[in-house]
Amino acid sequence: MVEPLSEDQADALQEVTNIAMGRAARSLSTLLDTFVTLAVPRVQLVDAANAAEAVQETANLPDTVTAVRQAFFHGLRGEALTLFAPGGGHNVADLLGLDADELGDPPEDEILIETSNILVGAILSGLGEQLETQFSYTPPSIFATNTPMDRVLNPDDLEWTTALLVEVTFTLESRNFTCHVLVLLAENSIAVIRQALDRLLEEF
Amino acid sequence: MAQAVEPGPDFSALVENINVGIVVVNRDHEIVCWNRFMAAHSGQPADEVVGANIFTAFPELPERWLRQKLRSVFLLGHQAFSSWEQRPYLFKFPHNRPITGGVDAMRQDCTFFPLADASGETGYVCITIFDMTDASIYQERLQRTTQELEELSARDRLTWLYNRGQFETELLAAFRHRERHGGHLSVILLDIDHFKTINDHQGHDTGDAVLRHLAACIRNRFRVSDVAGRFGGEEFALCLPETDAEGARLAAQRLRQEIHDEPAVHNGMAVSFTVSMGVSEADSGMPDPEALMKEADLALYQAKEAGRDRIVVYGENGAS
């Protein structure tokens, strides 16, 4: 059983995440040349058994999602899942320099993978900077296509029992585009975070 | 990377010799590093491309996409990727499987990562290119084999019609479709008359020839949207979407006529045989396709009882 974060630690983490998302949103706005919002509705410890439920509660997701997965390791270990409503990717293809006619098959995959990589990279480098740690990444890949949420995070398939979940909602209002990034930090990384947070708290 | 105490190897030789493509570009997209892998596969030696703008030197590159990719690495300072599964290649290189390949160009996985300049700022992007051609070919083969296995597991080996399991799957889909969208759906259950006698008196080879001939007649006679299956031994079933009982009866009659006119042939000998068929049409009262099949089975039983070589539609001529 993982000890829950203290109130101070939880506040500090929420604060760190907000700062990180502010930075990430600014670089994404520059990159995509349009206004973006990154909201952090909640940072929480979740049990594998009710992870899907916890995500559904905050994210207001459609019935089925397409998920892109990317693992990160080195300073902190964990996985990031970006959840998309099916079919939305085409609204943002041109922002990524992707032309509909030169895309592979199925064309939406590349858009979603690309979007996920940029978001996860921006979010994690923002977090890493705040927590003074760095990451290495695996290439992103399609994890699930048009799949109900409880099958994306099926407790039977999850290796962990408790993880720290940072949820980030990415919105491009001008394109009517939203997706959700779930950063799941593995159990043994929670201790590392705790230490980093305590260090930050001491500095205040 | 930790700095070695002793002078250690020449790391530029490592970059040069590693069997991975390494390209480094600066913020102006000028090539500053082009290793041997790149030179060998592109046919362009380093001294010809280093210093050149990558888009001028390689006009066939997907410029818009690559510009944005490089921009994201410079701006966000983190890695980007490209997989052969979405984008088969970045540089169009011939692959090393000219005989066994079956693909047009080397399949590539690429990684783009930032490199700092002397001031510590991201001044360069390194592109690494991995040859994924073999993996892509194996994956392609695996997919083909999986498809073949799925096909194989759905078919009856003798007649190549669907087997019972697959027929039931198809029938269920047609049944549900009719429930949602309305329309007609009929089934025909068919049994070869006195098949045991053919097998016992003329041999199993002859029996098999009869089964194959009947399957061929069914394939000739019915539409692509109709589903035919061998149910076991000498029993066959047909699922006819958008067909009412009368339409199914006509189709059954034509099949019966064809079997009369064109007997099976085995070892140069004509083998005559007849079939009995039961027909039933789905109605809204039926809970599942089993109920529909049960009616067709009762109709078939009546056709047998009434002397074989005939068609009975469930609910007609006192049949019920």
The per-residue pLDDT for B320 is 42
Residue among B55, B76, B85 with most chain A CBs within 10 A, to mutate? B76
Cα nearest neighbour of B111 on chain A: A139
How far is residue B2's CA from residue B249's CA, in Å, rounded to a whole number?
A: 83
pLDDT at residue A42 above 90? no
**B76 with A140: Cβ contact below 8 A:** no
B114 part of contact set with chain A, CB < 8 Å: no
A154 part of contact set with chain B, CB < 8 Å: no
| Short-list B305, B303, B298, B201, CA closest to B252 | B303
A166 part of contact set with chain B, CB < 8 Å: no
Distance from CA of A135 to the nearest CA of B (A): 9
What is the domain range of residue A158? 7-202
Instruction: Classify residue A26 as left (phi > 0), alpha (psi -120 to 50) or beta.
Output: alpha
How far is residue B217's CA from residue B220's CA, in Å, rounded to a whole number?
A: 5
SS3 per residue for B10-31 = CHHHHHHHCCCEEEEEECCCEE
Last residue of a domain, one of B140, B170, B191: B140
Mean pLDDT for the stretch of residues A78-88: 86
Mean pLDDT for the stretch of residues A91-98: 79
The per-residue pLDDT for A104 is 53
B131 and B164 belong to one structural domain: no
Residue among A73, A105, A118 with most chain B CBs within 10 A, to mutate? A118
A73 part of contact set with chain B, CB < 8 Å: no
H/E stretch holding B109 reads strand B108-116
**A113 with B86: Cβ contact below 8 A:** yes
| CATH number, residue A195 | 3.40.1550.10
Q: In this structure, is residue B148 part of a structural domain?
A: no
Instruction: Give the tens place of pLDDT for each residue, B100-130.
Output: 667 789 999 999 999 999 998 899 999 999 9
Instruction: Give the tens place of pLDDT for each residue, A156-185.
Output: 777 778 888 888 998 888 888 889 999 988
The per-residue pLDDT for A105 is 52
Name which of A97-106, B69-78, B152-161 the model is least confident about: A97-106
Last residue of a domain, one of B114, B140, B166: B140
B162 and B308 belong to one structural domain: yes
For chain B, what is the radius of gyration of the CA atoms? 34
What is the domain range of residue B257? 155-318
Instruction: Give the tens place of pLDDT for each residue, A106-137.
Output: 568 888 898 898 889 888 888 888 888 878 88
**A139 with B87: Cβ contact below 8 A:** no
Name which of A146-155, B115-124, B166-175 the model is least confident about: A146-155
Say what percent of chain A tops pLDDT 90. Answer: 9
**B83 with A125: Cβ contact below 8 A:** no
Q: In this structure, is residue B224 part of a structural domain?
A: yes
Measured between beta carbons, the chain A residues lying within 8 angstroms of B86 are 103-104, 109-110, 113
B133 and B273 belong to one structural domain: no
Q: In this structure, is residue B150 part of a structural domain?
A: no
Q: In this structure, is residue A2 part of a structural domain?
A: no
B64 and B204 belong to one structural domain: no
B109 and B197 belong to one structural domain: no
Matching residue, tokens 């964990």: A78
Give the one of B66, B76, B80 whose C-beta lies nearest to A27's C-beta.
B76
Domain count, chain A: 1
B166 and B302 belong to one structural domain: yes
pLDDT at residue A102 above 70? no
Q: In this structure, is residue A144 part of a structural domain?
A: yes
Q: In this structure, is residue B97 part of a structural domain?
A: yes
B168 and B100 belong to one structural domain: no
The residue ranking higher by pLDDT, B76 or A87, is: B76
Q: In this structure, is residue A40 part of a structural domain?
A: yes
Measured between beta carbons, the chain B residues lying within 8 angstroms of A82 are none
**A117 with B81: Cβ contact below 8 A:** yes
Please provide the average confidence, as pLDDT, over all residues in chain A: 83
Please provide the average confidence, as pLDDT, over all residues in chain B: 91
**B109 with A139: Cβ contact below 8 A:** yes
Q: Which residues pair with B308 in a beta bridge?
A: none
Q: What is the number of alpha carbons within 13 Å of residue B151 lying toward its C-beta?
A: 7
B290 and B199 belong to one structural domain: yes
B267 and B125 belong to one structural domain: no
B227 and B303 belong to one structural domain: yes
CB pairs under 8 A between A and B: 59
B167 and B307 belong to one structural domain: yes
A140 part of contact set with chain B, CB < 8 Å: yes
Q: In this structure, is residue A14 part of a structural domain?
A: yes
Contacts (Cβ under 8 Å, ≥6 apart) of B279:
B186, B187, B188, B245, B248, B249, B252, B296, B299, B311, B312, B313, B314
Q: In this structure, is residue B289 part of a structural domain?
A: yes
A102 part of contact set with chain B, CB < 8 Å: yes
Q: In this structure, is residue B145 part of a structural domain?
A: no
Q: In this structure, is residue A198 part of a structural domain?
A: yes
B192 and B308 belong to one structural domain: yes
Whole-Å CA distances, A53 to A46, A86, B220? 10, 20, 53
The residue ranking higher by pLDDT, B50 or A24, is: B50
Last residue of a domain, one of B106, B140, B174: B140
Mean pLDDT for the stretch of residues A57-65: 78
Mean pLDDT for the stretch of residues B65-86: 89
Long-range CB contact pairs, A104-112, < 8 A, 24+: A104/B85, A104/B86, A104/B87, A104/B88, A108/A66, A109/A142, A109/B85, A109/B86, A110/B86, A110/B87, A112/A66, A112/A68, A112/A82, A112/A84, A112/A142
Q: In this structure, is residue A1 part of a structural domain?
A: no
Q: In this structure, is residue B3 part of a structural domain?
A: no
Domain count, chain B: 2
Q: In this structure, is residue B104 part of a structural domain?
A: yes
Confirm whether the ipTM is greater than 0.85.
Answer: no
H/E stretch holding B255 reads helix B245-261
Instruction: Give the tens place of pLDDT for each residue, A5-36.
Output: 888 888 888 888 888 888 888 888 888 888 88
Distance from CA of A106 to the nearest CA of B (A): 8
A30 part of contact set with chain B, CB < 8 Å: yes
Q: Which residues pair with A135 in a beta bridge?
A: A74
